[in-house]
Chains A and B, each alone.
Chain A
Amino acid sequence: MLTPILLIAVPAVFGLICLSLPAPRWRLAVMVTGAWVNLGVIIWSWLAPHAPLKDEFIGVDPLGHLIVTVIGVLFAATSLHFVGYQRAALISQRVFLACMLALLTALNLVCVSQNLGLLWVALEASTLAGTPLIYFHGGARALEAAWKFLLMNSVGIALALLGVFCTALASVGAGEAVTLTINSLVLHGRQLDPAWLRTGFLLMLVGYGTKMGLAPLHSWLPDAHGEAPAPISALLSGAVLNAAFLAILRAYQVCQAANLGEFAGGWLIVLGLFSMAVASVFVVGQRHFKRLLAYSSVDHMGILAVAVGLGGVASYPAMLHVLHNVFYKGALFFVAGILGHSYGSYQIANIRGALRRYPLTGFLLLAALFAATGLPPFGLFYSEIGILFAAASSGHWWTLAAFALFLCIVFVGMVTAVLPMAFGGHSEPEAAAHTWDGGERWRYRAMAAPACLLIGLGFVLAVYQPSFVKEALDQAAAALGPHDTGAAIATAYAAGGGR
């Protein structure tokens, strides 16, 4: 019980300290410390085994633990990147840093909340904390992005609340003992009223799907990613989207227990493939680097939805995808932040020859590109292959064909856009680019180091996966699956060559 409380209290307390300190330097230091102490708490929490949860409001289960960990790692890396990124901004630094820690608090609460209602409250709180972050640079475009983010997510999440209420209605017939906690719902799954649960799941899928960036309600996402500062884009795509994904997984867990796994999975596959289709349309020919990355996020969320929808054997690669996606999406946005400062623009056409001019950044850009598009030896290769195998073994041939097609289109779109940025010729005068001399040097290092860290971590985990990581992924996958077979199949898949 101590872990969930610490996970909420630590960032909240650091956020309050941040609000009260007078000097900007100190506030920045407190934000970074907060993010790393949070990571420390998470690492410490892995030392104890998962205790079975009772009917509690908050608690740590394998699924939430995995997501809270990836969010914690990304947040710690982002806090370092932000130290280098920070410049004079329009909105107050005090509010901004406090909002970052408030966002972390809300996301941690999403991960540890075991009650569907509390989960909703936490996710909506994360929208509210995120809005000022998007408005960092000020101006009309950032304002538009912030407004779209706030309104679309609030309305989407309002529909999800309706879904939570429908799920609660479904549980009324099962007796007074059933509460809205995941455990209780899963335990009494067969007694839930299927009609109301279906309605509830669809509303939650649409509502939380808005926040997760599933098409057709993804339209806030490219705008928000395009206009927000790079570290915030990294948080949005790596942390906020995953938290919303967790919310959908919770709804899916309940459906699975109520024997509605096929129904829920079918809709997840439909929305997932549609998101991949939309992403592949907009990735090709995209001119703005961060919008390109945003559509890549939509693509990856689609992949996750399809994987979970396939269920069974695909659950393990789905969890593997969650883990590795965070590293590379974070790293790509960090690289975008460096390139944005270096070239003074995020337009793909303006960024050329990064490898020659900024060798380290160019190298990181290429590594993150290959990792994010799923080339071996990076982790996303294994997860995507795993999902393809799962689709084949369960006979979802149309899903498999569409999935593979969209993966290829996105790959081509990403590579054709990014390779010229790394190699490219002399499209503008050399003087236009920032040189990072003297006093600026540390900024460059502070911005590049977290990207190295994430890519390195992802690479190591792809080449050698320690048994505790595999165990954690297995447990999370087993929490999704049909409860008798999930773990067995995941183990069988892993033994058959997957990592």
Chain B
Amino acid sequence: MTYHPAIDTILVLAMLLNLSMLASSRLATCIRLFAFQSFLLALLPVGGEIAVGELPSLHAYLIAAAAIGLKVILIPYVLMRILRSGEIHKDVEPFIGFTASVMIGALAIVASFAMASRLVLPMPPFSDLVLPAALSTIFIGLLTLVTRVTAITQVIGYLVLENGIFIFGLFLLNRTPLLVELGILLDVFVGVFIMAIVVYHIRREFDHIDTDLLDELKEV
């Protein structure tokens, strides 16, 4: 059993933030919650190395800096601009209601703990909570993607999914080359930037960002 209070607090907070994102119907709140979650997670590469008693490497600092720059500042800024440029503030009622999705999210967290206890990691992680936090964040990201109808919330779901994968990638911090990790972060950012442009066009075309209306193309 490995245990480090600060790291565990961050991971628990990240999981709770997932639930609050599921619960909130205001898009701006969702974006802020995502930014806060990303900030907490950006502390982990450096924090993880301190927790196992190493001196943090330059690699860890660079990843943290890139994550803060892109996911805490730039991506939320782009999304907020899209939000402000129109009249959309509230999410449309999703396929699965807000309360129900929080319940499903809570179940996903329980399931993640159950799954994580069965998976055998090749090396001990710096905290036992890393794997359940990663899995639950991935599940909840997918849940958001599938059940929400506005384009912006789908983008947020994609970002939460990426955050989950980011947590998972913490295991491998020193095995993945820096260039690749920075490339991943850059791809995510450019991806969100293009998504934001498409969302902007969708709103201009349809007057709102309800992707439910995007069902013209199908087999007849």
- Interface on A for B, CB 8 Å cutoff? 57, 115, 117-118, 120-121, 124-125, 127-128, 131-132, 135, 139-141, 143-148, 150-151, 154-155, 158, 161-162, 165, 168-173, 179-180, 193, 195-196, 222-223, 226-227, 282, 287
Contact = CB atoms under 8 A, between A and B. Distances in A.
Given A121-B180, A124-B184, 20 more contacts: A117-B183, A117-B184, A121-B183, A124-B191, A135-B198, A140-B205, A140-B216, A141-B216, A146-B198, A150-B195, A151-B145, A151-B154, A151-B158, A155-B161, A168-B172, A169-B172, A179-B175, A222-B217, A226-B217, A227-B217
Contacts of A170: 122
9 contacts: A115-B177, A118-B183, A120-B184, A124-B191, A125-B190, A140-B206, A143-B201, A147-B202, A165-B171
Contacts of A168: 172, 175-176
B28 to A, nearest CB: 21
Contacts of A115: 177, 180
A154 B192 CA distance: 10
Contacts, number: 120
Chain A binding site: helix, strand, loop or mixed by DSSP? helix
B127 interface: no
B169 A128 contact: no
A115 B184 CA distance: 13
B194 A118 contact: no
A148 B214 contact: yes
A33 B162 CA distance: 38
Contacts of B181: 117
Contact of B161 (A143, A158, A171, A179): A158
B177 to A, nearest CB: 7
Contact of B176 (A135, A143, A146, A180): A180
A233 B205 CA distance: 23
B187 A143 contact: no
B188 to A, nearest CB: 8
Interface string B162-185: 100100110110011101110110
A158 B214 contact: no
Contact of A150 (B186, B198, B220): B198
Contacts of A169: 121-122, 171-172
B195 A151 contact: yes
Contact of B216 (A144, A150, A155, A173): A144
B198 A154 contact: no
B162 to A, nearest CB: 6
Contacts of A196: 122
A168 B145 CA distance: 27
B95 to A, nearest CB: 16
Nearest to B171: A169
Most buried by B among A150, A170, A282: A150
7 smallest CB-CB distances across A and B, nearest first, come from A117-B180, A121-B183, A172-B122, A144-B214, A223-B217, A124-B187, A173-B122
Contacts of B219: 222, 282
B120 interface: yes
Given A140-B205, A143-B205, A125 B214 contact: no
B7 to A, nearest CB: 19
Contact of A147 (B151, B168, B184): B151
B191 A155 contact: no
Given A121-B187, A145-B217, A165-B171, A155 B201 contact: no
Given A147-B151, A158-B158, A172-B122, A128 B172 contact: no
Contacts of B194: 128, 131-132, 150
B211 A158 contact: no
B130 to A, nearest CB: 12
Contact of B165 (A140, A158, A222): A158
A174 to B, nearest CB: 9
Given A144-B217, A282-B219, A165 B122 contact: no
A165 B180 CA distance: 12
Contacts of B158: 151, 154-155, 158
Given A146-B198, A147-B151, A161 B145 contact: no
Given A120-B184, A165-B172, A169-B172, A143 B138 contact: no
A108 to B, nearest CB: 15
Contacts of B154: 151
A172 B173 CA distance: 12
B217 A141 contact: yes
B50 to A, nearest CB: 21
B123 interface: yes
A168 B180 CA distance: 13
Contacts of B176: 117, 165, 168, 180
A58 B184 CA distance: 17
B12 to A, nearest CB: 22
B213 to A, nearest CB: 8
A165 B191 contact: no
Contacts of B202: 143, 147
A282 B218 CA distance: 11
Contacts of A118: 177, 179-180, 183
Nearest to A196: B122
A481 B136 CA distance: 38
Contacts of A125: 187, 190
Interface string B12-35: 000000000000000000000000
A154 B145 CA distance: 12
A227 B216 CA distance: 11
A135 B201 CA distance: 10
